[in-house]
Amino acid sequence: MSRAREGEWPTLAYALLAVLARGETTGYQLARFMEKPVGLFWQAPHSQIYPQLAALERDGMVTSSAERGPGPRARKTYAVTDAGRALLRDWVTTRPEPRAVRDEVVLRSYAAWTADRAEAAALFRAEQEAHEQRLAELEQMAENLSAKHGARLSDPSEPIFGNWAALQRGLGAEREYVRWCAWMADQLSR
Amino acid sequence: MSRAREGEWPTLAYALLAVLARGETTGYQLARFMEKPVGLFWQAPHSQIYPQLAALERDGMVTSSAERGPGPRARKTYAVTDAGRALLRDWVTTRPEPRAVRDEVVLRSYAAWTADRAEAAALFRAEQEAHEQRLAELEQMAENLSAKHGARLSDPSEPIFGNWAALQRGLGAEREYVRWCAWMADQLSR
DNA sequence: ATCGAGTATGTATAGAGATACATAGTGACG
DNA sequence: CGTCACTATGTATCTCTATACATACTCGAT
């Protein structure tokens, strides 16, 4: 949560800046947005987000204003500073070093030969269905975006272009995953 | 590395069992195999693998025999026990809870509107090329597998089927990633 | 003859991430 | 009137993952 060296922030920090760059929000709203089903490309629980926001504030990347909130503590609304915007802007065009790929389902496919054939087929069929459902959700999101924003989705200077870009990735990834699961299930049930 | 509860092993343990189920190996060979370029679907450094093997041995899932090795310590060759095989077999057909998706490139696409257009286009073009190269490597591996094993690749009771299955996933994933990167670069360079 | 790379196994430490604990106000529902 | 869910922010703790440290033999190259 705190930085290792000058200019070195964990990816979560940039994820928060990327959301805040679209407009100020509270920590709670950020946490909601970054939770499991919603966070399309980066997720974090609130226990990671609150300390990270505090660290960003200590370094002048965000500012907060507190009104009194419903709970025992004040509700804080965060906004990006110019320094934060510059940090984000620089980070966006740097190439990340490749992340480790870790997929438990692929690992199971690698060991599928040790298991009962029918049970294994059922696993991949179930995975296929789960990803088909997820795909349908994303397609619904795409329709909504398309209806609401139309041609602006193709303009890379519009914030909504970012939503569209990430959604396109999600759609492609889910379609490919469904395809592979279906292939696996077919292989195992012949 | 040690288990949280009875019957609860980290995924790395199953990854090791999955490799050992194909034949006994040394910890070093396992570590080589699980290192970055080779481990298609699960990676770990040796500092994780050695303690995990020790934990599996304490619980009777693997056995080791030590010959004297080149270094200051004996070289250990590990083999799965029946208990280990049963553990793996049961695990293979259980459905994993969905892992968090974390992709720094997609996160950058979400914030691409804040950056310089040409620099952003260059980033996605570079990513496209990197994944095209990775794809070419996987295609080479597929050719080699196909030439060496032929029809056995379609037999789910053969260990090599697992290699083929994981490789198919890799091929599909890389192709889809290349496609999306190319689309992103096109969008940004018009 | 020395240097570096590869073989081989381990420990130490720090950071990232997940889960659980803690607190308290409001509004809905039975 | 009590319980549940939601808003809202934070801390504590544990596990997983990555990086660095440690040791020592062999073999090929300079």
pLDDT of residue A53: 95
φ and ψ of A83, to 5 deg: -60, -40
Q: Do A162 and B111 touch (CB under 8 A)?
A: yes
d(CA A161, CA A135): 20
Q: Strands B25-26 and A75-80, how do they pair?
A: unpaired
Give the mean pLDDT of A159-177.
96
Average pLDDT, chain A: 92
Q: CB B7: neighbour CB atoms within 10 A?
A: 9
A28 CA to D4 C1' in angstroms comes to 20
Give the mean pLDDT of B52-80.
89
Indicate whether A5 pLDDT > 50.
no
B139 CA to C6 C1' in angstroms comes to 29
pLDDT of residue A94: 95
Indicate whether A161 pLDDT > 50.
yes
Between residues B31 and A2, the one the model is more confident about: B31
User: With contact defined as beta carbons under 8 Å apart, do B172 and A180 qualify?
Assistant: yes
- Which runs of E-coded beta strand occur in chain A? 25-26, 62-67, 75-80
Confidence at B69, pLDDT banded by 50, 70, 90: low
Indicate whether A112 pLDDT > 70.
yes
CA distances from B113 to A29, A164, B54, B122 (A): 22, 11, 49, 14
- In the block, tokens 């794809």 appear at B135
Which ranges of A34-74 would DSSP assign to H, the alpha helix? 46-58
d(CA B6, CA A180): 33
Indicate whether B131 pLDDT > 50.
yes
Give the mean pLDDT of A164-185.
97
Beta-carbon contacts of residue B189 (< 8 Å; ≥ 6 apart): B117, B118, B121, B125
Q: In what order do the strands lie in the sheet with A75-80?
A: A25-26, A75-80, A62-67
Q: Write out pLDDT tens, residues A21-54.
A: 999 999 999 999 998 655 888 999 999 999 999 9
Q: First-to-last CA distance in chain A?
A: 50
Give the mean pLDDT of A121-143.
96
Nucleotides of C under 7 A from a protein CB: 6-12, 14-21, 23-26
- At B77, is the secondary structure helix, strand, or coil? strand
Give the mean pLDDT of B139-153.
94
Q: Strands A62-67 and B25-26, how do they pair?
A: unpaired
A54 touching B (Cβ < 8 Å): no
Which amino acid, one-letter code, is at B58? R
Lowest-pLDDT range of B33-42, B52-61, B124-133: B33-42
Give the mean pLDDT of B117-132.
97
Indicate whether B96 pLDDT > 70.
yes
Confidence at B4, pLDDT banded by 50, 70, 90: very low
Using CB atoms and an 8 Å cut-off, which of residues 76-135 of chain B contact chain A?
85, 88-89, 91-96, 98-117, 119-120, 122-123, 126-127, 130
Between residues A81 and B4, the one the model is more confident about: A81
- In the block, tokens 């040409």 appear at B118
Proportion of chain A in helix, strand, coil states, percent, rounded to 5: 65, 5, 30
Picking from B123, B145, B146, B126, the residue whose alpha carbon sits closest to that of residue B134 is B126
Average pLDDT, chain B: 92
Give the mean pLDDT of A16-23.
96
Confidence at B137, pLDDT banded by 50, 70, 90: very high
Give the mean pLDDT of A147-172.
95
d(CA B145, CA B149): 6
Nucleotides of D under 7 A from a protein CB: 6-21, 23-26
pLDDT of residue A4: 44
Q: Write out pLDDT tens, residues B72-88.
A: 778 999 999 999 999 99
pLDDT of residue B99: 87
